[in-house]
Amino acid sequence: MQNEKSADFEVKGIKVNVAVNYRKVFDYPEEIKKLEEKLKKKKKTAELNGSAKLISLNPYLVFKF
């Protein structure tokens, strides 16, 4: 892969597409960070007490460089 955003490879007879994507990362104001933390705690509580409903379990691959 040179200057392409994706490329197809064959690995042991299996066709594989590898793509390079970018995720934007923002640093938010302190007020928003506090709200996010409060919401995160409420979500975790809902997961633990059973009031949150699991609607799907999605597998995914992780490659780190």
For the chain, the structural domain boundaries read 6-48
Distance in angstroms (rounded) separating the CA atoms of residues 59 and 45: 23
pLDDT beyond 90 at 60: no
Q: How many CB atoms lie within 10 A of CB 52?
A: 13
Please report which confidence band the pLDDT of residue 1 belongs to, taking 50, 70 and 90 as the band edges.
Answer: low
Which residues does 21 contact at the CB level (< 8 Å), separation at least 6? Answer: 5
Instruction: Name the 3-class secondary structure at 15.
Output: strand
Q: Kindly report whether the global pTM for this prediction surpasses the value 0.75.
A: no
Q: Are 17 and 6 contacting, i.e. CB atoms less than 8 angstroms apart? A: yes
Q: What is the mean pLDDT of residues 12-35?
A: 93
Are 16 and 9 within 8 A, CB to CB? yes
Residue 57: its pLDDT value, please? 95
